[in-house]
Amino acid sequence: MATETASPARRAAVELSRDGDRGVTGPLQGHHHEAYAIVLPPGNPLGEGYARGKLRVRREGLLWFDRRTFASEDQLLMALKGRVSRIPECAEFTGEVFLQGFVEGRTLRDGRFWPGRLSGRHVSQLGALFGQLAAIKHGELALETLPEVESRPPVRDGDTSGFLGGLIDFTQYEVYQRNIGEFGSLFDRLGVSATSLNGLRERARGLTSRPFSLVHGDLHRRNLIVDSRDDLWFIDWELAMIGDPLYDLATHLHLMNYPECDALRVKEAWRGAVEAARPGGCDGWEQDLPHLLAFKQAQSVYTDVIRTAVALLLGAGALALVAGAVTVGTGACPGADGAAGPGPSRLRLARAARKVQRVLAVAKDALGLPTVPTQGEIRAAYGEWLRERAARRG
């Protein structure tokens, strides 16, 4: 890529790399950032143990499906140094440019691990992470928060009902209501309405109080890296926040889709580590976990319905972008080859329908859906939405 046509993020990566453009890899697969791995410059700011660093620049204009808290992931990582094991080193390189250590290894989504069993070593290291996070108490991290945090209703330490209620509010108002003009007719056809989250609100009111701590908020397979020593590393702390420690367990179990035997091992590792680090941090966890899992199931419906719509709209080339955050363009619907055309192929529509039906089926009880649409009905819903959108834009 010619330097003069490169993005500002890539130009910065080339400038910082010891080997110029030859020392830059990327853009890396990511959702919220444009990221590059670079050969570290002389005077390696990350210290021994890293041959490469990662430069990340946040993409603008994205639709976020999860509530965020901290203004800077880099500053959070620096604050966690010495308190949380096996997270990337982070250093301010110059001005407001930060470099994270690039963890060399394979994600747990790699074919060597997925969908195989989680090793005892990795379960133990995951449990250690949960314990270290539970030890970081409410109010201990003096970090800048995002401006929107000030507009949220305050939630006192231990108010797990208020915490879950806030997450439900974000899904309803910031994901569903804010985008109803674009996707409202699609949700209607799939049977998801403005009242679908009411049952979850009722369930949230009865949660047991637990002391708040730091939670990662996004512990899925792509954020879990196994290095050459078979150690498990934890990356991408963009969605970290202070809240109910049980939320991390629920999110992890939902995203990992473990076989029951592994789920039981992870639950036990979480319980033992959290209770040891914060007595009372596990109170009522067995009764409350199904409610937090139900929220994650419902949240996935709102997320995947929109992601799937944008993927169909923009074409197969957009799938990497919409896997975590999307920006909706105004162009024509793509054809089967990804170019502008009358709409997606039947194969892509069929795959989309299977995916959306799965998440609707899992969340049926959580959202109080009387029935789950058939794959044919879902294909028709997306087809009609695409035609309506194309007609609105001429």
Which pLDDT score is estimated for 33? 75
Which pLDDT score is estimated for 121? 95
Closest by alpha carbon to 66, among 203, 136, 169, 205? 169
Residues of the chain above pLDDT 90, percent: 65
216/64 Cα distance (integer angstroms): 16
Confidence of residue 115 (pLDDT cuts 50, 70, 90): low
Confidence of residue 234 (pLDDT cuts 50, 70, 90): very high
H helices of 53-159, where?
73-80, 120-134
Q: What pTM value is reported for the model?
A: 0.89
Confidence of residue 112 (pLDDT cuts 50, 70, 90): low
Is-contact 73 27, C-beta < 8 A? no
Residues of the chain above pLDDT 70, percent: 87
In total, the chain counts a number of residues equal to 394
Confidence of residue 329 (pLDDT cuts 50, 70, 90): very low
Whether the per-residue pLDDT at 311 is higher than 60: the answer is yes
Q: Report how far apart, in Å, the C-alpha atoms of 343 and of each of 74, 136, 313, 349 are.
A: 41, 50, 8, 9
342/118 Cα distance (integer angstroms): 44
96-110, 282-296, 319-333, 372-386: which has the minimum mean pLDDT?
A: 319-333
- Per-residue pLDDT, averaged over 153-178, amounts to 96
SS3 state at 24: strand
Confidence of residue 43 (pLDDT cuts 50, 70, 90): confident
Question: DSSP string spanning 226-282?
Answer: E-TTS-EEE---TT-EEE-HHHHHHHHHHHH---HHHHHHHHHHHHHHHHHHSTTTT
Is-contact 372 364, C-beta < 8 A? yes
Query: How many CB atoms are located within 10 Å of the residue 119 CB?
Result: 14
Sheet holding 106-107, edge to edge: 106-107, 224-226, 232-234
59-73, 102-116, 197-211, 219-233: which has the minimum mean pLDDT?
A: 102-116
- Per-residue pLDDT, averaged over 372-386, amounts to 96
What phi and psi values does residue 126 have, to the nearest 5 degrees? -65, -40
161/159 Cα distance (integer angstroms): 5
Confidence of residue 392 (pLDDT cuts 50, 70, 90): confident
Residue boundaries of the structural domains of the chain: 175-195+287-392
Is-contact 181 309, C-beta < 8 A? no
Report the mean per-residue pLDDT for the chain: 87
Amino acid identity for residue 27 in this structure: P
Q: What are the tokens at 327? A: 């920006």
Give the DSSP H or E segment for 56.
strand 52-58
Which pLDDT score is estimated for 252? 97
Amino acid identity for residue 221 in this structure: R
201/197 Cα distance (integer angstroms): 7
Which pLDDT score is estimated for 324? 37
Is-contact 346 383, C-beta < 8 A? no
95-104, 214-223, 290-299, 339-348: which has the minimum mean pLDDT?
A: 339-348
Whether the per-residue pLDDT at 106 is higher than 80: the answer is yes
102-116, 142-156, 312-326: which has the minimum mean pLDDT?
A: 312-326
Whether the per-residue pLDDT at 340 is higher than 70: the answer is no
- Per-residue pLDDT, averaged over 331-346, amounts to 46
Q: Report how far apart, in Å, the C-alpha atoms of 276 and of each of 126, 132, 139 are.
A: 15, 10, 20
Whether the per-residue pLDDT at 144 is higher than 60: the answer is yes
At 130-143, the pLDDT tens digits run 999 999 999 899 99
Which pLDDT score is estimated for 377? 97
45/54 Cα distance (integer angstroms): 12
Whether the per-residue pLDDT at 118 is higher than 90: the answer is no
Closest by alpha carbon to 255, among 349, 114, 69? 114
Confidence of residue 56 (pLDDT cuts 50, 70, 90): confident
Q: What are the tokens at 376? A: 């044919």
105/231 Cα distance (integer angstroms): 9
Which pLDDT score is estimated for 70? 95
Whether the per-residue pLDDT at 330 is higher than 70: the answer is no
Which pLDDT score is estimated for 63? 75
Which pLDDT score is estimated for 331? 35
